[in-house]
């Protein structure tokens, strides 16, 4: 199908997602098909007239602030090691309808040609759309959302004392002073619940009102930033603080 005419900025997004996917895999935060990414590219991609109309779906909830918006989002079941090595075959382009109640999606080749894929968007699509809708509603500069299974943060929420938002922030700030410097608002904490549901999407958005980094109890975390790299940096900082905590526990035994 007709070429999408990918500009330099869109190609840069593919490169950044690929780069960060490599970091996640290297850190051991992306076992099997764990993790997902979305980036709002509406400012760089404005026309949907050549997107195949065969792949699409109605949304259970309307997202009015995403009306007509375009996103890059990882494929359901994609492995981050594959996203790193072959981003164009592991990332989809999503276009939300003008009423915010439907979406359709397609693949884009490295050469910029549209394709009708057999794959579907990430199972965490509801979280990404709800979060992206919140970012648009609040006129946030942030366009990227990153979800990963940061080992240190998952481990931390297996400790009952740190399933409390106030206590987990106090610990993280104490472990490394730069945590408070870069994330002065602290991290949000969403209690354990089923992934990929509207319930976890709604809880995440509620937490996003005050936090850029959100930990999902015993599951992983999300972060938002102006770029995927920015979102990764925030998670990296928080995970480092948690890692220091576990190193100290080991030394004091």
What residue segments make up the domains of the chain, in order of their start? 8-251
Of the given ranges (16-30, 48-62, 107-121, 164-178), which has the lowest mean pLDDT?
A: 48-62
| Across 170-176, average pLDDT | 97
3 state SS of 150 = coil
DSSP character at residue 177: H
Residue 250 has pLDDT above 80, yes or no: no
Span 79-93, pLDDT tens digits? 999 999 999 999 999
Q: Catalytic positions, please?
A: 124
| Across 233-248, average pLDDT | 97
User: Tell me, what's the pLDDT at 45?
Assistant: 79
Of the given ranges (25-29, 41-45, 129-133, 244-248), which has the lowest mean pLDDT?
A: 41-45
User: Tell me, what's the pLDDT at 118?
Assistant: 85
Tokens 């997902």, residue located: 36
Residue 158 has pLDDT above 80, yes or no: yes
Tell me the average pLDDT of the chain.
93
| Across 98-110, average pLDDT | 92
The larger pLDDT score, comparing residue 7 to residue 147, is at 147
The larger pLDDT score, comparing residue 7 to residue 46, is at 7
> How does residue 26 score in pLDDT terms, banded at 50, 70 and 90?
very high
Q: Judge contact between 70 and 48, C-beta under 8 A.
A: yes
User: Tell me, what's the pLDDT at 196?
Assistant: 87
Q: Does the structural domain 8-251 have CATH classification 3.30.360.10?
A: no
Beta strand segments in the chain, E: 36-40, 56-58, 70-74, 91-96, 102-108, 114-115, 144-148, 188-190, 213-216, 220-225
> How does residue 48 score in pLDDT terms, banded at 50, 70 and 90?
low
User: Tell me, what's the pLDDT at 139?
Assistant: 97
The larger pLDDT score, comparing residue 117 to residue 223, is at 223
- In a 10 Å sphere around its CB, with 0-12 CB exposed, 13-18 middle and 19+ buried, how is residue 51 labelled? buried
> How does residue 253 score in pLDDT terms, banded at 50, 70 and 90?
low
Q: Judge contact between 106 and 92, C-beta under 8 A.
A: yes
Q: In this structure, what token pair is assigned to residue 232?
A: 């990764």
Distances (CA, A) of 88 to 43, 78, 228: 20, 12, 16
User: Tell me, what's the pLDDT at 50?
Assistant: 65
At a CB cut-off of 8 Å and minimum separation 6, what does 44 contact?
7, 9, 10, 13
Residue 2 has pLDDT above 80, yes or no: no
> How does residue 47 score in pLDDT terms, banded at 50, 70 and 90?
low
């Amino acid at each position: 199908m007709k070429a999408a005419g990918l500009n330099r900025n869109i190609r840069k997004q593919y490169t950044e997602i690929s780069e960060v996917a490599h970091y996640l895999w290297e850190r051991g935060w992306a076992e099997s098909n764990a993790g997902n990414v979305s980036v709002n590219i509406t400012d760089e991609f404005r026309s949907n007239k050549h997107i195949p109309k065969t792949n699409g779906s109605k949304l259970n909830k309307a997202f009015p602030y995403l009306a007509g918006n375009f996103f890059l989002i990882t494929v359901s079941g994609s492995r981050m090691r594959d996203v790193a090595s072959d981003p164009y075959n592991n990332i989809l382009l999503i276009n939300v309808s003008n009423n915010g109640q439907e979406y359709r999606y397609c693949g884009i080749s490295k050469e910029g040609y549209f394709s009708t894929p057999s794959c579907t968007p990430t199972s965490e699509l509801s979280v990404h759309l709800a979060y992206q809708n919140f970012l648009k509603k609040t006129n946030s500069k942030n366009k990227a959302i990153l979800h990963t299974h940061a080992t240190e943060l998952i481990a931390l929420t297996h400790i009952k004392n740190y399933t409390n938002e106030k206590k987990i922030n106090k610990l993280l700030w104490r472990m490394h002073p730069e945590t408070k410097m870069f994330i002065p608002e602290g991290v949000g904490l969403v209690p354990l619940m089923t992934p990929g549901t509207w319930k976890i999407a709604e809880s995440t958005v509620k937490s996003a009102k005050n936090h850029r980094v959100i930990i999902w109890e015993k599951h992983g975390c999300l972060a938002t930033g102006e770029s995927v790299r920015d979102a990764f940096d925030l998670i990296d900082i928080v995970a480092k603080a948690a890692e220091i905590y576990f190193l100290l526990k080991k030394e004091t035994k």
